């Protein structure tokens, strides 16, 4: 066979290769990496890439979940099944523990996304993790669009967006001082559509709520909230059964579903390609708080 110009990677193959390179760099250069795993689609894709990166060896680091206590039960079940299938060590830090012993107080609106920062940072320092893989993507949000693949956090877990290290070529610099750690985002260059196309190409299993199903929901702030112990309708909010799916999976009390008929991964790809609303705009009350809601949370050490 002659060497012709058609030996090129597709965009998905390119993204996959880049992510595997990043994951391997971390495994090679850090003492104690951990991968944040919630059972959400981005963390599922990230974990899938990690299994490919080290084959035939098992994934050489544990996973950690910051449990808000407001989970969708099917996502928790998926998390546990995945961890067992891959024989991983799972560390859980629970917001509920912090509320029970008074280290954190429940917010007046009952949502817990903002309460995750302290348990996350305590989980990192408690286990002396020096590299923390996150599934964040730059297309998700304006502040994320500015973040490096290797993002240094000081001993307080803070991100300083004005003082980030230049990130050149594919030479990642993970050096840090004791007490500091590095957040690593292997999916930085992926878009929501890339994630779904990859899920289809690799036949990756996800929690069922990512696909259209019948669910009891009520409308709040323009979002469809699922009825559960942590999200009960208030006066004037009526519960209806609708055909919905989730574009993101977070705290059940503030993550909205979208009306959808997309029951297969192919349907979802068509839907995502045609959508006119970003996934966070459609489904996350926490990001709507202000123009810089995500930036402010990230500076404090959030994901």
Sign of the CA dihedral with 131 first, then 168, 189, and 140 last: positive
CA 128, CA 303: separation in Å to the nearest integer?
17
Do residues 73 and 165 touch, judged by C-beta distance below 8 A? no
Report if residue 67 touches other proteins, rule: CB under 8 A: no
- The separation between the first and the last C-alpha atoms of the chain, rounded to the nearest angstrom, is 48
**What phi and psi, each to the nearest 5 degrees, are found at residue 66?**
-90, 110
Report if residue 101 touches other proteins, rule: CB under 8 A: no
Report if residue 219 touches other proteins, rule: CB under 8 A: no
Closest by CA position to 42, among listed 265, 287, 248, 297: 248
Cβ 8 to other proteins, closest distance in Å? 6
Binding mask 176-205 for other proteins (x = CB under 8 A): xx----------xx-x--------------
Closest by CA position to 172, among listed 7, 16, 2, 27: 27
Cβ 72 to other proteins, closest distance in Å? 24
Report if residue 169 touches other proteins, rule: CB under 8 A: yes
Do residues 192 and 137 touch, judged by C-beta distance below 8 A? yes
Report if residue 86 touches other proteins, rule: CB under 8 A: no
Cβ 195 to other proteins, closest distance in Å? 12
Q: Give, as ranges, the residues between 20 and 49 that touch other proteins (CB under 8 A).
A: 20-21, 24-25, 27-28
Cβ 267 to other proteins, closest distance in Å? 19
Do residues 137 and 190 touch, judged by C-beta distance below 8 A? yes
Determine the size of the site formed for other proteins (CB under 8 A): 60
Report if residue 5 touches other proteins, rule: CB under 8 A: yes
Do residues 40 and 248 touch, judged by C-beta distance below 8 A? yes
Cβ 102 to other proteins, closest distance in Å? 32
The one among 91, 154, 167, 267 contacting other proteins by CB under 8 A: 167
Cβ 171 to other proteins, closest distance in Å? 5
Helix 11-29 / helix 41-54 crossing angle, nearest 10 deg: 70
Report if residue 234 touches other proteins, rule: CB under 8 A: no
Q: How would you classify the pairing of strands 131-133 and 33-36? A: parallel
Sign of the CA dihedral with 81 first, then 38, 190, and 223 last: positive
Report if residue 8 touches other proteins, rule: CB under 8 A: yes
Cα–Cα distances (Å) from 6 to 1, 3, 11, in that order, read 12, 8, 14
Binding mask 258-287 for other proteins (x = CB under 8 A): -----------------xxxx--xx-----
CA 292, CA 280: separation in Å to the nearest integer?
13
Report if residue 10 touches other proteins, rule: CB under 8 A: yes
How many CB atoms within 10 Å of residue 220?
A: 17
The one among 65, 70, 112, 138 contacting other proteins by CB under 8 A: 138
Considering the complex, state which of residue 67 and residue 140 has its C-beta at the smaller distance from other proteins.
140
Cβ 169 to other proteins, closest distance in Å? 5
Report if residue 289 touches other proteins, rule: CB under 8 A: no
Which positions lie near other proteins, rule CB under 8 A? 3, 5, 7-11, 13-14, 16-18, 20-21, 24-25, 27-28, 51-58, 138-139, 141-143, 145-146, 161-162, 164-171, 173, 175-177, 188-189, 191, 275-278, 281-282, 291-292, 295-296
């Amino acid at each position: 066979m002659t060497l012709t110009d058609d030996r090129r990677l597709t965009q998905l193959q390119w993204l996959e290769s880049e992510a595997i390179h990043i994951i391997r760099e971390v495994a090679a250069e850090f003492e104690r990496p951990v991968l944040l795993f919630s059972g959400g689609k981005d963390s599922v894709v990230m974990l899938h890439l990690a299994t490919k990166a080290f084959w035939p060896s098992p994934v050489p680091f544990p996973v950690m979940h910051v449990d808000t206590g407001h989970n969708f039960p099917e996502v928790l079940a998926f998390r546990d099944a995945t961890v067992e299938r891959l024989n991983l060590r799972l560390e859980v830090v629970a917001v509920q523990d912090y509320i029970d012993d008074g280290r954190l107080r429940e917010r007046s609106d009952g949502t817990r996304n903002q309460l995750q920062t302290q348990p996350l940072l305590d989980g990192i320092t408690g286990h002396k993790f020096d590299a923390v893989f996150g599934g964040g993507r730059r297309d998700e949000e304006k502040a994320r669009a500015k973040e490096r693949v290797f993002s240094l956090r000081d001993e307080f877990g803070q991100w300083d967006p004005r003082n980030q290290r230049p990130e050149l070529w594919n030479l990642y610099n993970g050096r840090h001082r004791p007490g500091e750690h590095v957040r690593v985002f292997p999916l930085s260059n992926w878009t929501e559509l890339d994630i779904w196309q990859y899920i289809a190409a690799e036949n990756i299993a996800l929690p069922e709520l990512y696909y259209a199903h019948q669910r009891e929901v009520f409308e709040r702030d323009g979002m469809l909230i699922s009825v559960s112990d942590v999200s009960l309708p208030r006066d004037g909010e009526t519960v209806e059964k609708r055909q919905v799916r989730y574009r993101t999976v977070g705290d059940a009390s503030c993550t909205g579903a979208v009306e959808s008929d997309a029951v297969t991964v192919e349907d979802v790809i068509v839907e995502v390609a045609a959508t006119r609303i970003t996934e966070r705009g459609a489904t996350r009350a926490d990001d709507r708080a202000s123009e810089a809601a995500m930036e402010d949370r990230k500076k404090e050490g959030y994901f």
